[in-house]
């Protein structure tokens, strides 16, 4: 099965699919952090190259709820949100049979459509909280693989006592926060990879 992981430079999802035998490629404007099949460039130029499945991670900077309040005070930022929404629409309408697009809670839900599912890292074996929305095309909901109980302290490993993200400001903070959790990547590869491979075999 040919898998395109759009807007991924880490190689996490790509390598998880490849470990199960799929021909998976990542694509991003940035170079890949891990050696592997990677297309450095504009993903819109490769959407029509015969992929069976696309996992898309469009940048959330101008889409997530935490930053939208700036749009009323900064018209130039509001324009970037519109451009980001157009990019999401393009990805969702790509000529690929099965698509999963992920993003934090934000304006995709109100401007395009509500997500099919919202997942958390603690449903997949990671002791952290980070609501992630999934918009799906011809794919089943992702099933939790290892649900962790709420910590006794009342907050998760990536939260302060007031439930704020406790990562300090740094030049790589955006990279760390945008990385896909390994447990979620494995669930995607095992559940969606197996399902799409079976359907592809039936079609041939």
Q: What is the pLDDT along the chain (204 residues), one digit of tens a residue?
A: 999 999 999 999 999 999 999 999 999 999 999 999 999 999 999 999 999 999 999 998 768 766 656 556 667 777 888 899 999 999 999 999 999 999 999 889 999 999 999 999 999 999 888 899 999 999 999 999 999 988 755 565 655 444 445 445 555 544 445 689 999 999 999 999 986 555 444 444
Neighbouring residues of 75: CB distance < 8 A, sequence distance ≥ 6: none
Residue 162 φ then ψ, to 5°: -95, 10
Q: Cβ–Cβ contacts within 10 Å for residue 137, how many?
A: 16
Please state, in angstroms and rounded to a whole number, the distance separating the CA atoms of residues 198 and 116: 22
DSSP state of 185: H
Give the closest residue to 131 by CA, choosing from 190, 177, 95. 177
CA distance between the termini of the chain: 12
Strands 38-40 and 23-28: parallel
Q: What is the CATH number of the domain that holds 27?
A: 3.40.50.150
Dihedral angle sign, alpha carbons of residues 103, 107, 109, 113: negative
* pLDDT for residue 155: 61
CB–CB of 7/57 below 8 Å? yes
pTM for this predicted structure: 0.83
Strands 53-56 and 132-137: unpaired
Structurally, how many domains does the chain consist of?
A: 1
* pLDDT for residue 173: 46
DSSP readout, 53-117? Answer: EEEE----TTTBHHHHGGGGT-HHHHHHHHHHHHHHHHHHTSS-SEEEEEE-SBTHHHHT---SE
CB–CB of 106/63 below 8 Å? yes
Question: Which structural domain range is residue 12 located in?
Answer: 2-203
């Amino acid at each position: 099965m040919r898998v395109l992981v759009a807007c991924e430079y880490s190689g996490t999802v790509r390598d998880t699919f490849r470990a199960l035998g799929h021909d998976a490629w990542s694509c991003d404007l940035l170079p890949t952090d891990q050696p592997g099949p990677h297309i450095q460039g504009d993903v819109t130029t490769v959407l029509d190259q015969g992929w069976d499945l696309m996992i898309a991670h469009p940048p959330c900077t101008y889409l997530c709820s935490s930053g939208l309040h700036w749009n009323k005070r900064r018209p130039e930022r509001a324009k970037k949100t519109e451009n980001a929404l157009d990019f999401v629409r393009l990805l969702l309408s790509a000529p690929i049979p099965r698509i999963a697009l992920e993003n934090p809670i934000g304006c995709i839900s109100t401007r395009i459509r509500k997500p099919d599912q919202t997942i958390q890292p603690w449903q997949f074996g990671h002791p952290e909280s980070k609501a992630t929305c999934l918009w799906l095309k011809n794919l089943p909901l992702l099933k939790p693989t290892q649900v962790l109980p709420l910590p006794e302290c009342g907050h998760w490993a990536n939260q302060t006592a007031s439930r704020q993200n406790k990562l300090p400001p740094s030049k790589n903070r955006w990279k760390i926060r945008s990385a896909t959790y390994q447990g979620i990547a494995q669930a995607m590869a095992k559940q969606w990879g197996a399902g799409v491979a079976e359907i592809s075999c039936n079609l041939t």
